[in-house]
Amino acid sequence: MHHRHRTVIARLFQVSAAFALSGALAFSGASAAQKKVAKKQASSASKPARASKAVSTAKVKAPARKQVAAGKTGRAVAASARSPVRAVAYAPARQSFGQLAGLHDVTDPLDLKSSVALVVDQETHEVLLSKNDHAVLPIASLTKLMTGLIISQARLPMDEVLTITQDDVDTEKGSSSRLRVGATLTRGEMLHLALMSSENRAAHALGRTYPGGLAAFVTQMNVKAKLLGMADTKYVEPTGLSSRNQSSARDLAVLVNVAHGDPLVRQLSTSPGYEVAQGPRTLQYNNTNRLVKSPAWEIGLQKTGYISEAGQCLVMQAEVAGRKLIMVFLDSAGKFSRLADAERVRHWVENQSGATAVLASHKIKG
């Protein structure tokens, strides 16, 4: 690994435990200037999507959208002479920003399905794996990690009862929620559901009820990002439903490192499940990351995310083969591929550690 690459990561990780908990964090220097991605023209059937910045390790172009063809591979119904059925055409699925920028064309030794990946040793700051780590992309519900950190460090009363209002209903993506308008939960319960189950209404309610309101909360999110040296990061709301919440893998690794230092965020993000009472009903919520229940994993912090513009995303702090690692996976192509990518990295690190141990043993014997 290049010394310069390791030095940049190390600089971003130079955060004292006291400053991490108080929020008064500062970094020297900023990340290298990135090249801008050329504007991409999307299909007339959907809005254009663009990546904010290009990866510094490769020059890539956004792939052109393929036209929908009739037949098994297409999603169009063609009229036939025998049965005069009116033709119906469907727009192709919206591509993620990473797909439009051609980031999936960049290969890596592990054949990861995520177009962006970064694996860093939390203690030595050594970069073990890097793929498009400068690319700035939508981060979906990874946003909630910053939301949770702000709420935890604000020292607001966790037993205060908050009410879901119409303002918390998703008008960005039209996503559903089991928390109905009028539902009441404590702030601690809202935080638990936001970090563990990625509950959007709970996350929005946390920001809305912050001192000064939602605008003040979003401002604080961006102030915190700036203090942490996250130069590629921007937040516009607390849930991640907006594709304008964007960051890079390098910035997110810094956030994971700091959030891992917060005991409450660490505990709630890795909680396997939680029940909340809503009148006569009891709602069972589960962690969106099934790896937290796996005996093969020792996870200290995690957060998942998904919107179509961001693809499947995952950040984790985990101990693998005796090493504390920070893993970032963005824009993964399939529903379960982000978890499969994490498994690939775990096996790779374990095999490398095993090979190193065998080599050391041979040297001692020799």
Tell me the C-alpha distance between 363 and 150, whole Å. Answer: 49
CA atoms within 13 A on the CB side of 264: 21
Superfamily of domain 3-30+56-62+93-365: DD-peptidase/beta-lactamase superfamily (3.40.710.10)
Query: What is the token pair recorded at 300?
Result: 């200290």
192, amino acid identity: H
**What pLDDT tens digit does each residue of the chain (366 aa) get?**
555 455 545 555 654 333 343 443 333 333 433 334 333 433 333 343 344 343 333 333 334 333 333 333 333 333 333 444 444 455 567 899 999 999 999 999 999 999 999 999 999 999 999 999 999 999 999 999 999 999 999 999 999 999 999 999 999 999 999 999 999 999 999 999 999 999 999 999 999 999 999 999 999 999 999 999 999 999 999 999 999 999 999 999 999 999 999 999 999 999 999 999 998 899 999 999 999 999 999 999 999 999 999 999 999 999 999 999 999 999 998 888 999 999 999 999 999 887 665 555 555 554
Going from N- to C-terminal start, the domains of the chain cover 3-30+56-62+93-365
> Which residues belong to the active site?
141, 144, 198
Query: What is the token pair recorded at 91?
Result: 């727009």
Q: Supply the DSSP symbol for 144.
A: H
Kindly give, in sequence order, each residue whose CB lies less than 8 Å from that of residue 206, ignoring residues fewer than 6 positions away: 147, 151, 162, 187, 190, 191, 194, 217, 238
Tell me the C-alpha distance between 227 and 193, whole Å. Answer: 27
Kindly give, in sequence order, each residue whose CB lies less than 8 Å from that of residue 110, ignoring residues fewer than 6 positions away: 129, 341, 344, 345, 348
